[in-house]
Amino acid sequence: MALTLEQAQRVGYTCLKALLRFAFMVANNLVAIPSYVLYLIVLQPLRILDSKSFWYIEGVLFKWLLAMVASWGWWAGYTVVEWGDDVKAVSEDEAMVLVNHQATGDVCTLMMCLQDKGTVVRQMMWLMDHIFKYTNFGIVSLIHGDFFIRQGKTHRDQQLVLLKDHLEKYYRSRNRKWIVLFPEGGFLRKRRETSQAFAKKNNLPFLKHVTLPRLGATQVILKTLVAPQENGTPSGGDAVRKESKSKGLQWVIDTTIAYPKAEPIDIQTWILGYRQPTVTHVHYRIFPVKDVPADPEALTNWLYQRFIEKENLLTHFYETGAFPPPQGQTKAISREMTLSNLWLVAIQSFAFLSGGMWYCLFQYLYHCLF
């Protein structure tokens, strides 16, 4: 069927816009990521003299880099509406964030919606598949101290040992507060069939919108980061809880990402912007870590329950276009997440000015030496 002139113009405009966005993204990466690395190289003496200040500055630069990624989606009309508990209330406490995983755009969505949560982004640690180490952002994540985990049975035990060592070495020494992981261990489309077969074999619930989570990384994080007195019910009441608030992991934040019509956004769409403006919905539920069981079997059941709840949340969302109200309430309240365009422009300008500064500096040094 032949395209009409109007359709051809629309396709041409979409392709041109995608090409320009891709060119901007490449330029953005070429100036922002090397600048981040070079700033931290120059600041190495500060790392020796005042490690806390060094990692504070690194965290600010890291947050700005993530804001640049968020801006690619924001300016394409890919926005976020939030539901459930208000995580800003625990933004200064230590928390583990459990997220369902559908596509590469999930990470970009989190980079966006956590931007307005205080110090969270600059003090967070990510657990991600080792393949991301070899992407353009890999060097940034390596410096920041994120953990790259290899999937598969042959690597599982070794990776959990490495994760424990990594947390002990970097988490508190770099003043990290939130740790983000995807317990399903892969994208929904890749793991759903295997998960459903496992569920059928072990008499577990049949899930369509999420997969059964894996226990390993969650258990290691809880064992390593939770203060001993909080791994269970404290006996001293409010006084004990108040005193222990700054000691160890305090919360588990169950985060559920939902896309309209169950059509997730991938990183290519985020960059090229060829999809129509889309609102992604993010639901939060906060659990005190003292309510999370330590026993492996009980923890497995607890984690399964979280993903069964995610399944119910997503089923309700796909049927109604909204998440259900919290228990005991009649209406669910949503919050539209916003970013300041002026702030995003300022960060992008800083990146390009930094790139120009480093280029001029290296040109000057080259001419002085040669």
Q: Is 128 or 283 the better-scoring residue by pLDDT?
A: 283
Cα separations (Å) of 359 from 29, 35, 39, 139, 352?
15, 10, 13, 20, 11
CA-CA distance, 110 to 119, in Å (whole number)? Answer: 14
Confidence of residue 236 (pLDDT cuts 50, 70, 90): very low
Label each residue of the chain as H, E or C: CCCCHHHHHHHHHHHHHHHHHHHHHHHHHHHHHHHHHHHHHHCHHHHHHCHHHHHHHHHHHHHHHHHHHHHHHHCCCEEEEEEECCHHHHCCCCEEEEECCCCCHHHHHHHHHCCCCCCCHHHEEEEEEHHHHHCCCHHHHHHHCCEEECCCHHHHHHHHHHHHHHHHHHHCCCCCCEEEECCCCCCHHHHHHHHHHHHHHCCCCCCCCCCCCCCHHHHHHHHHHCCHHHCCCCCCHHHHHHHCCCCCCCEEEEEEEECHHHCCCCHHHHHHCCCCCEEEEEEEEEEEHHHCCCCHHHHHHHHHHHHHHHHHHHHHHHHHCCCCCCCCCCCCCEEEECCCHHHHHHHHHHHHHHHHHHHHHHHHHHHHHC
Residue 242 has pLDDT above 70, yes or no: no
pLDDT for 154 equals 76
Asked if residue 218 lies in contact with residue 96, where contact means CB atoms within 8 angstroms, the answer is yes
pLDDT for 13 equals 82
CATH architecture, domain 78-227+247-339: 3-Layer(aba) Sandwich (3.40)
**Of 101, 221, 214, 217, residue with least CA distance to 158:** 217
| Averaged pLDDT, 325-342 | 88
CA-CA distance, 191 to 13, in Å (whole number)? Answer: 36
In tens, the pLDDT along 127-141 reads: 988 888 888 889 999
In tens, the pLDDT along 199-216 reads: 999 999 899 999 999 999
Write down the domain spans for the chain.
78-227+247-339
pLDDT for 246 equals 46
* β pairing state of 251-258 and 278-288: antiparallel
